[in-house]
Amino acid sequence: MLNLSVHKLAIFLVMLSVITLGTAYYIEHILMYKPCNLCLIERIPYWVTLILSLIILILKKFQRILISFILVSFVLGVIVSFYHVGIEQGFFDESLVCLFNTNENLMNTEDLLASLQNNSVSCKNVDFRIFTFSLATINLFISLGVSVIITKILFNYEKNKY
């Protein structure tokens, strides 16, 4: 059975994911701002959402389960974004995730030490802002908003079935 609310949500999530990922890659590759490791991790929920939303639109099956997975993905995104904003604001210390250069192969102790000494992008530095907000802050708001919307649709899932 097709759930019209979930169908509209899936279309919205595909558009949101494409715009968000496109913006992130534009800022990285065209504007030449190197992302930190947490910024890279914060992209994962959008990739998961893009893939699962396309599956919903194509198969029109397993909607509730797939939307639930998308919700879990965005809730995890909220947690990572909250942590990232906390690092930017000085509430939390940077973890090892922030210190490793993800582009290097760490095969031995020397490689690990060299990676730690390398000038990788710090998670606490905010080099790019939109309307005075860091990208991590914007992502926190988006992830939180999407989580609320998905939760509401899941609670009303049976009412909207046709």
CA dihedral over 46, 52, 56, 62, signed as positive or negative: negative
Beta partners for residue 105, in sequence order? none
* CATH code, domain with 106: 1.20.1550.10
How far apart are alpha carbons 75 and 91 in whole angstroms?
20
Share of the chain above pLDDT 70, in %: 81
pTM above 0.95, yes or no: no
Domain with 107, as residue range(s), is: 4-160
Among 127, 132, 137, 138, CA closest to 36 = 127
Q: Is 65 exposed, middle or buried (0-12, 13-18, 19+ CB in 10 A)?
A: exposed
Contact 72, 150 (CB under 8 A): no
Q: Which of 8-22, 70-84, 104-118, 119-133 has the lowest mean pLDDT?
A: 104-118
Q: What is the structure's pLDDT at 116?
A: 54
What pLDDT band is residue 103 in, cutting at 50, 70 and 90?
Answer: low
In angstroms, the CA 78 to CA 91 distance is 16
Angle between helices 63-89 and 44-59 (to 10 degrees): 170
**Other CB atoms within 10 A of residue 90 CB:** 8
Q: At what angle do helices 4-25 and 63-89 cross, to 10 degrees?
A: 40
Phi first, then psi, for residue 155 (nearest 5°) are: -65, -30
Give me the number of domains the chain comprises. Answer: 1
Q: At 100, which amino acid appears?
A: F
The mean pLDDT value for 89-117 works out to: 67
User: What does the pLDDT read at residue 1?
Assistant: 46
Q: What pLDDT, on the 0 to 100 scale, is given for residue 125?
A: 81
Q: DSSP letter for 97, please.
A: H
Contact 56, 10 (CB under 8 A): yes
Q: What is the pLDDT of residue 5?
A: 79
pLDDT-derived band of residue 128, with 50, 70 and 90 as boundaries?
confident
Residue 129: pLDDT band (50, 70, 90) is confident
Residue 23's nearest CA partner among 10, 33, 13 is 33
